[in-house]
Amino acid sequence: MIAVWAGNYFAPAGWGTAQIGTLALVVFLAGCALVFVSWHFQRQQSQANRHLEVLARLTPQDLFADIPAVVLPPLPPKHPQAAAIASVKEVLAAHLRRIQDLEHARAALEVRCRRAVAQCEQIKAIFSYLAEPILAVDDYNELLLANRSAEELFGFESAKVEDRALARVVQCQRLVDLLAGTASRKTPGSRTEELEITDAQGRKRWYRATAVKLAAGDGGEQRGMGAAQGAVAVLRDIGDHKALQKRNAEFVSAVSHEMKTPLAGIKAYVELLADGEAEDRATQEEFLQLISGQADRLQRLVENLLNIARIEAGVVNVNKQPRSLNEILEEALRLVRPSAEAKNIQLVSELSPMYLGVLADRDMLLQAALNLLSNAVKYTPEGGKVILRSQTDGHQIRFEVQDTGVGLSEEDCQRVFEKFYRVKKDRDMAPGTGLGLPLAKHIVEDVHGGTITVESKLGEGSTFAVILPRAGQSL
């Protein structure tokens, strides 16, 4: 209408109504287009603004939830700000990805860190409670680290040590030198030394010390933490090993002594006979008897040694049959009687009048009984008494050897069945290899399923008791 009015008003003269109408339409259309265009620009602007506003308001949480893609429809591709907004969004997205990556990395690191701390704690606990004393020193041979065991051995407290020079903490110059020497070496590799260390209580103990160089280049993580250069030593208690070595040496010495004594007799009499020293028949006969006796003795010793070795190695042929225990014990008594009489020791037999059936390897059980009896005779002074008893005890059979000998201390009672163990104070009282009682124990316990025990009082005598299962009547 306005266009029509305006057409009427402004139209040049001479225009007809039709012309004016056309013009008005054109003007109207142009107006519409103008309005549309401005509306369109405004809409685009507000779309862009909304994008920017949303982007501006975004919180980190929204970023992770990828909200812009949800709440904002994409801008039409021809939108004049589309490129700018898209590049902002791309930058944001790139940052977002980076933040996400960092966040993942951080979480992973946190887990690793926690694990590392836990591991470190575990290692510290293990280190501190390790039975082996461990000491670490730096380049200047000053104490870096010591575990509980090392502290106890040398009698110090790591936390309280002020002068950390190892030589002042540890009273063992050879260990100090070993660590210093290892720390100053150019090449890795361990060094080992056997040391006798006097502990905080003044006892001497043997240790095998293994020292290795601590190098700063051991792994990148350590380098960052200013890891030490120096050396660490682990001490292994070899007291038992040393004691065993000593006992083995003593055993070899005892065995050779025991073997040489009968051998000496054999060789001496052979020489006397060969030299024709024994002129009469009776002397020759006597010498031959002595040779034979000593040869038997040597044989018994060798058999004892082999028996114990065989039983220990588990390669014995056991021939168990129902036997009369009393018969075996009587035989043992008969065998030991000469040595008892030589020492004027009264050998008393108190065997049960009943038949005591045992499932036994006769030779082995005889050996065990003989060892107990000859042991009693050996360690009973002249004029003493050795009693052999047997009796039933329910389903079990018991025999015991009681003597009026030198007796055993409590410690000796516990150790007397150990191989090669010989009671020190009585060692020179009689020759022996320290094998008789261990062999008897093996025979009774491992082969016959019985038990062997000792009760004793120093100076009053000992009683060795053997308990064996009773063989069933049906056997």
Partner 1 sequence: MADNPQTHYLPTTTCYNDNDLTGDANMAKRVLLCDDEVHILRAAEFKLKKAGYDVQTAADGLEAWEAIQQQKPHVLITDCQMPRMDGLELVRRLRSAPATADLPVIMLTAKGFELSTEQLAEQWGVKVVMAKPFSPRELLQQVEHLVGRSIGSEQPRAAPV
Minimum distance from CB of 191 to partner 1 (Å)? 30
Q: Kindly state the tokens that stand for 441.
A: 């124990």
Count the site residues for partner 1 by CB under 8 A. 25
Minimum distance from CB of 427 to partner 1 (Å)? 9
* Choices 17-25, 133-141, 262-270, 306-314; region in contact with partner 1 by CB under 8 A: 262-270
Q: Within 10 A of 164 (CB to CB), how many other CB atoms are there?
A: 15
Contact between 265 and partner 1 per CB under 8 A = yes
Contact between 428 and partner 1 per CB under 8 A = yes
207 near 235, Cβ under 8 Å? yes
Contact between 266 and partner 1 per CB under 8 A = yes
Contact between 458 and partner 1 per CB under 8 A = no
Contact between 118 and partner 1 per CB under 8 A = no
Out of 147, 149, 182, 294, the only residue in the binding site for partner 1 (CB under 8 A) is 294
Which residues face 468 on adjacent strands? 397
CA 365, CA 397: separation in Å to the nearest integer?
13
Minimum distance from CB of 409 to partner 1 (Å)? 19
* Choices 44-52, 108-116, 227-235, 256-264; region in contact with partner 1 by CB under 8 A: 256-264
Out of 11, 48, 212, 430, the only residue in the binding site for partner 1 (CB under 8 A) is 430
Gyration radius of the chain's alpha carbons: 51
Among 270, 278, 208, 209, smallest CA distance to 239 is for: 208
**Can you point out the beta strands (E) in 168-272?**
191-198, 204-214, 230-237
Contact between 268 and partner 1 per CB under 8 A = yes
Contact between 293 and partner 1 per CB under 8 A = yes
197 near 175, Cβ under 8 Å? yes
- Residue placing its CB nearer to partner 1 in the complex, 301 or 316: 301
Out of 275, 282, 314, 353, the only residue in the binding site for partner 1 (CB under 8 A) is 275
164: left (phi over 0), alpha (psi -120 to 50) or beta: alpha
308 near 419, Cβ under 8 Å? yes
Which residue shows structure tokens 């309005």? 35
454 near 414, Cβ under 8 Å? no
Minimum distance from CB of 434 to partner 1 (Å)? 14
Contact between 261 and partner 1 per CB under 8 A = yes
DSSP conformation class of 112: H
CA 244, CA 236: separation in Å to the nearest integer?
15
Minimum distance from CB of 353 to partner 1 (Å)? 37
Out of 263, 301, 387, 465, the only residue in the binding site for partner 1 (CB under 8 A) is 263
Contact between 257 and partner 1 per CB under 8 A = yes
Angle 15-20-21 from CA coordinates, rounded to 5°: 145
Contact between 288 and partner 1 per CB under 8 A = no
Contact between 344 and partner 1 per CB under 8 A = no
Q: What are the residues binding partner 1 (CB under 8 A)?
A: 253, 256-257, 260-261, 263-269, 271-272, 275, 277-278, 283, 290, 293-294, 428-431
